[in-house]
Copies of this chain bind each other. A is one copy, B any other.
């Protein structure tokens, strides 16, 4: 489980490298950091959640995109899906242990950005101003 080696897509004795075009880690990174992936994972860090509640936490996501995002994350072992065959149906989504680790690193980034948006906004004004109003 430590220092795994990419046995098929990144070369014989080479560890996974996201900068390599064909490395599967790039795919997973995209699932996790994708438009809805990062928000979904971040929202689930607050605890298990049902489908429609998740939709409310992640403002703006459509049913289709949330469903699609959750499937990709479940396949990658980031999210666990628990369905109870009751009526009405009840399905809970939660992070796996792997997902929790991912979420914490993602949230560190998110919170840092949230905490420094004033700097970003200032930079934007400077940038937009410098290039003559364009």
A residues neighboring B (CB under 8 Å): 1-4, 6, 15-21, 24-26, 28-30, 32-35, 38-39, 42-43, 57-60, 74-78, 98, 101-102, 105-106, 108-110, 112-124, 126-128
A117 touches B28 (CB 8 A): yes
Closest 3 CB pairs of A and B: A77-B123, A33-B33, A4-B118
Number of copies of this protein chain within its complex: 2
Q: How far is the CA of A84 from the CA of B124 in the complex (A)?
A: 23
Q: How many angstroms between the C-alpha atoms of A43 and B21 in the bound complex?
A: 14
A78, B34: Cα distance in complex, Å:
19
Among B43, B115, B117, B127, contact of A19 (Cβ-Cβ < 8 Å): B43
- B58 contacts A110, C-beta separation under 8 Å: no
Nearest chain B residue, comparing its CB with the CB of A128: B75
A41, chain B: closest CB distance, angstroms: 10
Taking A1-B119, A18-B42, A58-B19 as contacts, is the C-beta distance between A105 and B108 under 8 angstroms? yes
| A39 surroundings in chain B (CB, below 8 A) | 18-19, 26
